[in-house]
Structure 1
Amino acid sequence: MKQTMTTKQSERLINAVKFIVLLIFGVLLMTPFLWMISVGFDRTANIAMPFPPKLIPDNLSAFNYGIIFENGRVFKAYLNSGIVTTSSVAISVCSALLGGYAFSKGKFKGKRILFFMVLCTLMIPMEPRLIPLYKLFNSVGLLNTFWPLILPSLVSGFLVFLCKQFFDQLPDTLREAAQIDGASEFKIFFSIYLPLAGPIAATMVILSFIWSWNDFMWPLVVLNNQELHTIPLYLASFSLENGTSLGGLTMALATVSILPIVIVYLFLQRYIIQSIALSGVKGE
C-alpha cells in the first residue's frame, strides 16, 4: 500500500514538474507577442520605444489601431492577401489529398520513382527557384498578377508526403470492399477516404495558410504594383518609410497582420490534435 502511494506521489510530482517547465517555456515564447501587442496600445511608442519593455503600457490607448484602419491601404492589403491565401490553400490542399491518396493506395508503374521525385523537392529551398520561376512567369506575361503567388502551390512535396503518411494508416480493406461493389477509384476516394481525411486536411489548411499569408520574398520579386501588395509587403514598406519613429503604429500593424492566422488556428486546432493522435494508429 505504501509502495502504491509512493508511486502515485512520484507520478504527480513528475507531472507537476513537466507542467511547470512547459509553462515557463510557454511564457517565454509568448512574451515577444505580448510585448508587440502592448507596444501597439502605447501611444507614446510613436515618439520613442519604451525601455525597459513593459507588458502593460503607462498610457493605454487604441489610437494606433484607429490610425491604421483609417488608412485604406491596410484593407486593400488584407483583400489581396485573402485572395492569394484562399486560392493557394484550396489548390494545395486539394492536390495534396489527391496526390497523397494516389501514392498511398494507387498501384501504377513508376510510383516509387515519382514519389522520390516529389520528396526531392523538399530538399530545394525557395531561393534557388526564384530565378527560374521568375523567368517562367515573365515569359507568359503573368508578372504583377496574383497567378505567380497561386500556381506554385499546385504541388507541395511536404503536403503530399503528409497525406500519404495519413492514408497509409487507413485500412486497404475499405478500398477492396468498394472495388468489389463496383465503385470507381474517384468514387472510393470521395465517398470513403476523403470523409476520413478531415483531421489531416485541417492540418494542411493551417500550414498552407501560414506559408501563403506570411510569404514575403516571392511576392516582393513578382509584385511591383503597390495596389497588389499583400500584408507582409505593406508591413515592410510601412516599416521602411517610418523606421522606428512610429514604433507603436508598426507594432499595431504587425498585430493586425497575424490575427487571421490566430483565428484559423483556434478554429481548427482540435482537428490538428486529432490528426496527431491518428497518425500513430496503424489500420489493419
Structure 2
Amino acid sequence: MLCFENVRKVYKDFELNCSMRVEPGCITGLIGPNGAGKSTAFKAALGLIRTDGGRMEILGKPADQLLPSDREQIGVVLADSGFSRYLRIKDLLPVLDHLYHGFSREEFKQNCRKLSLPMDKKIGEFSTGMKRKLQLLAAVSHDADLLILDEPTSGLDVIARDQLLGLLREYMEKDGRSILISSHISADLEGFCDDVYLIDQGRIILHEETDNLLNRYGLLKVTPEQYAGLDQAYILKSRREDFGYSCLTDQKQFYVENYPNIVIERGSIDELIMMMNGRES
C-alpha cells in the first residue's frame, strides 16, 4: 500500500533516510520523539516536499506517477494543516463533493452530528479538538484506501479520542484498507496498530509487530550486583538508575525463566522510545 526504500531528504541540520512498508489491511504506527522525522516522512509520502533520493510507492505506483484519481484514494490529516477558519462545515460540503467522487455527504453529516460538530459555526471558533475531529472526518469521508494520519488524536480528551479511534476501526472493516498513523499517545497505538516503526534522527531504528512488542519486550529492573551477573546477550539497551539499572530486552521470557529474583516489567511503547533513544550506560 505504501513503501519507502532509503528515502532521503536533506536539510541543513537534519537528514531523513528511512525504509518502511504499510501492508494492505494493516494499521502501521510511526513513533519517535519530536523532531525525529515523522512529519518529514509523511510530507515526503504526499509529495509536499521534494526528496533527495530513494524510492517511494503508494497504492502500487511510484509516488511521482500518481494520477488525480489515485490521490482521491488517500485520506490525510497533517498536524500543521487544516481548513480555513472563515468557513463553516456546511461551506465544506460542496468543496468535498467536488474534490472526491466517493464523498458521501449524508454519512459525513451524520458523523458530524455524532461528534457534536455544528454545521453553521465558523471553524475558527472551534476548539482544537473540534478541528481535529473535522479533519479526520473529512479524511475518511470519501472511501479512501489509505489514510496517512499525523497526530490525529492530538488535543483530544479521552472520550473524543475513543470516538475517533472507533471511527477508524469502522473504516478498517472494509477489506484492503490501510492506515499509517503517528501519535504521542502510546495507549492509542498499543491498542490500535498491527505494527510500529521507531524513528530517531531521521532513521528507522526498530520495526516490530505490536503483539511481539508487548509480549516479548520487557524492562528489567536490577541492582548493580544483579546487573553484573546478568546475561547480556538479549539486552538491547541499558540505563543507569538510582536503584541500579533498567535494561530493555526483546526476550523477556528468557529472563523470567533464568532470573526469577529480578523485577521484570511489561514493555510499553513509551519505555521503548525512552530506552531506544537513550544512551547505554
Structure number with the higher strand fraction is 2
Give the TM-score, by structure 2 length.
0.23
TM-score if structure 1 supplies the norm length?
0.23
Bigger-Rg structure (1/2): 1
Higher relative contact order by CA 8 Å / sep ≥ 6: 1 or 2?
Answer: 1
